[in-house]
A and B are shown apart, each in its own frame.
Chain A
Amino acid sequence: MVRKLRKFNYSRPGTVAEVVSLLKDYQEKASLLAGGTDLLVFMKLGGKNPKHVIDMKGITVLDHLSWTPADGLRIGCLTTLQSILRHPLIREHFPMLEQAAKALGHPQIRSRATVAGNICTASPSGDCAPSLLALDARVTVASPAGERTIPVREIFAGPFKTILAPTDVVTEIQVPALPPHSAGSYRWQPKITAVDETLVGVAAVVTLSDGGKTIKDVRIGLGSVAPTPMRAPRAEEFLRGKQITDSLFDEAAGIAAGESQPRTRAEYRREITRVLVEQALKEAVDRASRNGGNR
């Protein structure tokens, strides 16, 4: 199989306004290039054939990562997975995002791939999605009509499909600061192949009350077990307000596994979901109990 790129025009605008204006002209004939680790693969394999490739990397201000108590975490659309790994702000506030970054690809891919690109590709097995769902993250989108904010949970429309229009540009991801006594965890099981794609990925975010004895709030994100990354609302509802007991997480994990909708290897994926949900909940609770939470 010939895996070579077909001809296209490359441009590298310096502002978001220029990107939006180019997209307005080119519409679906254009593709946005951030890290390129998905786009160039799709183009080589024939899944995409844009006439225009618009490189976002000329807009250097979009490569940023910051945290404040008021704004939470802000991740620019050019921020790579590599820069999430070992980042002091990520380690302090959202160690689950470092776990997600570690799950994704390998060093050469992480040097280029971006968190925003991982969301926009909308692979059912994308490793950033479960955590961003569980963290109630939002994305800022620029378009000819202006700027708007969309919750990550509304963005996925199907396997490799989002609700974004051809003229939309995701410029930033925002993760709200967690309340006190909260923490999250991401656990994953890879397929054993050349690329070690995630077979099941599970994110859990918990908030504890009652001196760490009760689950005050919880959100669970599941990856690679449905046409799109998903939340597990029934398991969340089951856990909310419950006192932590030895069997609580096992029961909740069973409910979450029942909510999953794997398309292939269903029985195995459900079983792995059950195992990973329990692990993620336990790790999140453990982190939330330590240091007064917020981990």
Chain B
Amino acid sequence: MRTIKVTVNGESHQAEVPDHRTLLDFLRQDLELMGTKSGCETGDCGACTVLLNGKAVNSCLVLAAEADGKEVLTVEGLAYPNRELHPLQEAFVEHGAIQCGYCTSGMLLSAKALLDEIPRPTEEEVKEALAGNLCRCTGYYSIIKAVQAAAEKMNR
């Protein structure tokens, strides 16, 4: 067991965790933030994507201990504090970029990491940024369109 201090969605958390706890399980089990999904558990599907110090990572392949002292953003922290949806979330709703929703939180966070780095991405750059997020409802094109629409809105 060890004590870790992690800032999640702007809130500081101190917790006792076993050494083998992943960041994903820490978020879901210890903090009860269920928005981050567990998919393949081996870094292939992207359902567990969160931002760690601003970078998109597979939280299933990060130990909670490795997140000690770092900042994590999950889908729960994406909407603004006044509960208004983030432009990405709005665009996903408007463009029908959600079907079953299992990949959505990961998609949103990969897209957020992209727009933080490249505010006006090309379609190719959106595709590359989402390459690590699998959608089995075959909604890729609506998702790409949503990300581009959000980028446009945010740059307005």
In contact, A109 and B132 (Cβ under 8 angstroms): yes
Q: Quick check: is B46 within 8 A (CB to CB) of the other chain?
A: yes
Among candidates A3, A9, A57, residue contacting B42 with C-beta atoms closer than 8 Å: A3
Q: State the majority secondary structure of interface residues on B.
A: mixed
In contact, B43 and A37 (Cβ under 8 angstroms): yes
> What residues of chain B lie closer than 8 Å to A10, measured between beta carbons?
2, 19-20, 63, 65
Q: Quick check: is B149 within 8 A (CB to CB) of the other chain?
A: no
Chain B residue nearest to A36 (CB atoms) is B61
A-B contact count (CB 8 A): 84
Interface string of B60-97 (1 = CB under 8 A from A): 11110110000000000000000000000000000000
Contact-residue size bin, chain A (C-beta under 8 Å from the other chain):
20 to 34
> What residues of chain B lie closer than 8 Å to A107, measured between beta carbons?
56, 110, 113-114, 128-129, 131-132
In angstroms, Cα B134 to Cα A196, docked, is 12
Q: Quick check: is B18 within 8 A (CB to CB) of the other chain?
A: yes
In contact, B57 and A108 (Cβ under 8 angstroms): yes
Q: Quick check: is B36 within 8 A (CB to CB) of the other chain?
A: no
Cβ < 8 Å to A, chain B residues 19-65: 19-20, 22, 40-46, 49, 52, 55-58, 60-63, 65
Cβ < 8 Å to B, chain A residues 22-69: 33, 36-37, 40-41, 44-45, 53, 55, 57
Among candidates A41, A111, A112, A194, residue contacting B45 with C-beta atoms closer than 8 Å: A194
> What residues of chain B lie closer than 8 Å to A53, measured between beta carbons?
19, 63
In contact, A36 and B62 (Cβ under 8 angstroms): yes
In angstroms, Cα B69 to Cα A12, docked, is 13
In angstroms, Cα B63 to Cα A4, docked, is 12
CB distance from A113 to the nearest CB of B (A): 9
> What residues of chain A lie closer than 8 Å to B65, measured between beta carbons?
10, 12, 55
> What residues of chain A lie closer than 8 Å to B134, measured between beta carbons?
194
In angstroms, Cα B66 to Cα A35, docked, is 10
CB distance from A204 to the nearest CB of B (A): 24
A interface with B by C-beta (< 8 Å): 3-10, 12, 33, 36-37, 40-41, 44-45, 53, 55, 57, 82, 105-109, 111-112, 194-196
Question: Could you give 5 example pairs across A and B, Cβ below 8 Å?
Answer: A33-B63, A40-B43, A41-B43, A105-B132, A112-B57
